[in-house]
Amino acid sequence: MKLIAVTDDRQSVKAIAEKIIAIKDVIDYVQIREKSKSVLEIVSLIEYLLNNGVKKEKIIINDRLDVALCMDIPTVHLPEHSLPVKMVKKCVPQMRVGCSVHSFEKAKEAEANGADYILYGHCFETKSKQGLAPNGIEPLFQMKKELSIPVYAIGGITLETLPSIKEVGADGVAIMSSIFATDEPYSITKTFSEAIHHEK
């Protein structure tokens, strides 16, 4: 299983950068999801990360294909209402493209359109989607049975809910609040990493 840290768009560029640098050795990827930041701020953040030992292969840019291309970041993640996966793969075939989905049907469609992986959620109740009922983990079973691309789970993933995600055979988990809302990102991320890689 892979561990993806997803930024929470609630902190300064400096604060986010420091947290990512602190956890860079215990995560597989970090998704830069800073919707309220300007392009210049996102570029500054990525430059700072690259200059401080974060490998570009570990960085995923949310939505901003332009930034990914200009910064030579190999992976872009498309929200459900972003650019069509098929269009991005046609224009930039070498780009690794991930896609957010909220149902099995959308996951199947994303794979057919050329997505390299999907991020399914939200699996459990989460503060970032307050008031929205979770989609549950049942669709993950179907996705793992019928899709050939990696399937990652997001939304309300905690140390308590992690075992059920492992049970369905997801290829990894994406975690936001547990990592970025804490003052001790390294220790919690290391705990997650150990829990993910610990065999039953």
Task: Please give the positions annotated as active site.
Answer: 122
E runs forming strands in 24-101: 29-32, 59-62, 75-78, 96-101
Report which residue type is found at 61.
Answer: I
The structure tokens 């308590």 sit at: 160
The CB-based long-range contact list for 59-66 (8 Å cut-off, 24+ gap) reads: 59/29, 59/30, 59/32, 60/4, 60/29, 60/30, 60/31, 60/32, 60/98, 61/31, 61/32, 62/31, 62/32, 62/33, 62/34, 62/35, 63/33, 63/35, 64/39, 65/92, 65/95, 66/39
